[in-house]
Amino acid sequence: MKRILFLFGLLVCLAGMPLTAFADNKTAKQTYETAISDNWKTMLKNSIALDTINAENNTHLLNWQDVKNPSDEVVKLVEKIRKLQAEQEEDQESMDPYTKAKKTCDEKLNADGANAALENIIRIQKDRLSDQKELQALWAKVDKLLK
């Protein structure tokens, strides 16, 4: 009789274990998402701002393709813009290790590591935003000279 009770108790314990493990994982995921939410929101806002400015700058580049007989000053400005864009593309690659680290932390629900990666991504995004604004100002000069 004791064996039957022991086996029954063991089966109940084993059957209930996956349910509690699932609940703990869900709680851990919620805790993780709460812990990184502020940095995640900041990173997303910066991404949107970067995409917006980048789209505007690409519009200027597209319009530049239709310019006929530009002055030397305008050509020099556009060359400067292209050099800056090439540098920025290299800077973008510096964000890749942090993006990979963030993905790894997501898998392991490591909030401290994810926040550190997000803070580095945000830092790089802020640098890129200032670079994009510099390009935006240069394109404004080009537009002014073309008029």
Q: What is the pLDDT of residues 12-43, one digit of tens each?
A: 555 554 544 555 667 888 888 888 999 999 99
Is residue 72, in this structure, part of any structural domain at all? yes
At residue 110, does pLDDT exceed 80?
yes
Is residue 26, in this structure, part of any structural domain at all? no
The radius of gyration of the chain from alpha carbons, rounded to an integer in Å, stands at: 26
Is residue 19, in this structure, part of any structural domain at all? no
* Max Cα distance, the chain (Å): 99
Tell me how many domains the chain contains: 1
DSSP string, 91-140: HHHTTHHHHHHHHHHHHHT-HHHHHHHHHHHHHHHHHHHHHHHHHHHHHH
pLDDT tier at 1 (50, 70, 90 boundaries)? low
Q: Is residue 37 classed exposed, middle or buried when 0-12, 13-18 and 19+ CB atoms within 10 A define those classes?
A: exposed
Q: Residue 81 belongs to what domain range?
A: 37-146
Is residue 95, in this structure, part of any structural domain at all? yes
User: Tokens for 131?
Assistant: 């670079």
At residue 46, does pLDDT exceed 50?
yes
User: Tokens for 82?
Assistant: 């292209």
At residue 115, does pLDDT exceed 50?
yes
Is residue 111, in this structure, part of any structural domain at all? yes
User: Tokens for 111?
Assistant: 């909030």
In the chain, what percentage of residues exceed pLDDT 70? 83
Is residue 18, in this structure, part of any structural domain at all? no
SS3 track for 35-51: HHHHHHHHHHHHHHHHH
pLDDT tens-digit readout, 53-74 = 999 999 998 998 888 888 999 9
Is residue 70, in this structure, part of any structural domain at all? yes
* Mean pLDDT of the 68-82 span: 91
The amino acid present at 14, given as its one-letter code, is L
pLDDT given at position 20: 47
Is residue 90, in this structure, part of any structural domain at all? yes
